[in-house]
Amino acid sequence: MKRLILIAGLSGLVALSGCSKPDDSAMDNANEPIANEANEMAPVETAASESPVGTYDVKMADGTMGTTTINADGTYSDTGPDGKVVSGTFTRKDGKDCFDPEGDGAEMCWTSSAPGADGSFTSTAADGTTVTVTPKAE
């Protein structure tokens, strides 16, 4: 791969919520859209739309390791095995995790597998590149 773009394919991460029992009346409207400040309709966050925010170890096919950090503001930062840092924006599109590095406009989108017991999963790019992603313990 000519350009190193690490991946944090995060579709398998599960956000944990509080342990208290939710109010059943609140659940009646859980899948209805809510209005945002611009009075437009926005979908309600559910457990199926977990947050990708966090730091991840990324193992390439050749065994080299890197790190990806996804921030709450929609930015990301990759540190490759050589120490080179690439930053840009992160979005989710059509069930894929997409990374758009600053400056080159060459967005890459990845499809992720279901997570294993340790939270790790594989992510595959359109060109067939596959990496193993493991959430870092906080």
Instruction: Kindly state the average pLDDT of the residues 10-38.
Output: 37
**Half-sphere exposure of residue 46, counting CA atoms within 13 Å on the CB side?**
13
Amino acid identity of 19?
C
Instruction: Kindly state the average pLDDT of the residues 9-36.
Output: 37
Domain boundary assignment for the chain: 46-135
Q: Which residues pair with 112 in a beta bridge?
A: 123
Residue 61 confidence (pLDDT): 93
CA distances from 57 to 31, 33, 49, 134, 135 (A): 33, 35, 21, 5, 6
CA distances from 95 to 10, 61, 69 (A): 10, 23, 19
Superfamily holding 46-135: Uncharacterised protein PF14869 family, DUF4488 (2.40.128.490)
The model carries a pTM of 0.63
Task: Please give the full DSSP string across 4-46, using - where no structure is assigned.
Answer: -------TT------SSPPPHHHHTTTTS-EE-TTS-EEPPP-
Asked if residues 17 and 26 have their Cβ atoms less than 8 Å apart, the reply is: no
Residue 49 confidence (pLDDT): 47
